[in-house]
Amino acid sequence: MREPDERFAKVGEIDICYEEFGAPDGEPVLLVMGLATQMVGWHEEFCGELADRGYRVIRYDNRDIGHSSHLEHAPMPSRMQMLLGAGKPAYTLSDLGGDAGGLLEALEIDSAHVVGASMGGMIAQVLAIEHPSRVRSLASIMSGPGTRASRMPRLRAFGALMRAAPKDREGAVERAVNVFGVIGSPGFETDEEYLREVAGLSYDRSHYPQGIARQMHAISTSPSRARALAGVRVPTVVIHGDKDPLVRFAAGKATARAIPGAKLEVVEGMGHDLPRGTWPQIIGAITENADRAGAPAARDAVGA
């Protein structure tokens, strides 16, 4: 696995690390990754397949992970605060959504097709709610609207995620393999070699568990988005696996119900990951949804 061709954009006081694929004049697709996962969690071949369809694909590190700014002096939540959503977080999902919108602004992109996975789906939803002019279409993958009823993972999956992060590279790689052995897709083949490569590259880029704790606190303190999602007016597809033990399928259904006109795309046998076998259906759903949005000029003419 190669190192990303990294670039940096200044968003307020945050430096956002990003990488682009495809033609600079293609319709932009912004890929937003989830909790504890760097931009390399978006497989470069997944990005390449979108780029081959004519899109300008942008993946990036959220704040506090990878090579984006680490908030070294921000307060750390206690374990109970992180789990129960108590106390004041160092930043919120709104701040993370602002980072996404700020990255688009820094790249002089008026709006993009926004695709988010897990926590990235939450960030994408926030972007569509709070910065609607930045979003051409929305794809929310294995995520939820933040309602209490849709938050609860299966105990085994939650336990795997909450185990302390090893400090050494070998231990971090083994932990990643073990976690995805629990939360991954039972209906698809697991590429363990690739998992090890991503985990190793992520460790080498930045091993920073403090940021992961602050990201989780941002999630746990976030209020439900269900009511606000009713105001989303862009074409939306909600993609969810029926075997997801971490963000249960009920959360995907709740997201689709909350957004007017949203399409629910069910991936049978998919858990809480993006194995290669799911790509044809997922990429197809993303591009079909993007097509529903039409070109910006056409949308403006319709809305005039």
**Whole-model pTM?**
0.94
Higher pLDDT, 222 or 158: 222
Q: Which run of H or E residues covers position 224?
A: none
- In eight-state DSSP terms, residue 41 is G
Q: In what order do the strands lie in the sheet with 55-60?
A: 7-11, 14-21, 55-60, 27-32, 112-117, 135-141, 236-241, 263-267
DSSP 8-state symbol, 66: T
Set out the domains of the chain in order of their start, with CATH numbers. 7-154+209-303 (3.40.50.1820)
| Short-list 153, 165, 168, CA closest to 244 | 153
Mean per-residue pLDDT, 166-170: 94
Q: What is the mean pLDDT of the chain?
A: 93
Sign (positive or negative) of CA dihedral 172, 123, 250, 284: negative
Q: What is the pLDDT of residue 250?
A: 94
Q: How far apart are CA 53 and CA 78, in angstroms?
A: 45
Statement: residue 69 has pLDDT above 60 = yes
Render the burial of 258-290: b for 16+ CB within 10 Å, e for the rest: bbeebbbbebeebbbbbbebbbeebbebbbebb
Contact 227, 129 (CB under 8 A): no
Higher pLDDT, 42 or 297: 42
Question: Degrees (nearest 5) of the Cα angle 243, 209, 162?
Answer: 40
Strand partners, 55: 27
pLDDT per position as a tens digit, 226-268: 999 999 999 999 999 999 999 999 999 999 999 999 999 999 9
Percent of the chain with pLDDT over 90: 87
AA letter at 44: E
pLDDT recorded at residue 160 = 67
Q: Measured between alpha carbons, how far is 204 from 218 in angstroms, rounded to an integer?
A: 25
CA atoms of 292 and 51, how far apart (whole Å)? 18
Quote the distance between the C-alpha of residue 94 and its chain's center.
Answer: 14
Tens digit of each residue's pLDDT (9 = 90 or more) over 90-119: 999 999 999 999 999 999 999 999 999 999
Q: What is the pLDDT of residues 47-59, one digit of tens each?
A: 999 999 999 999 9
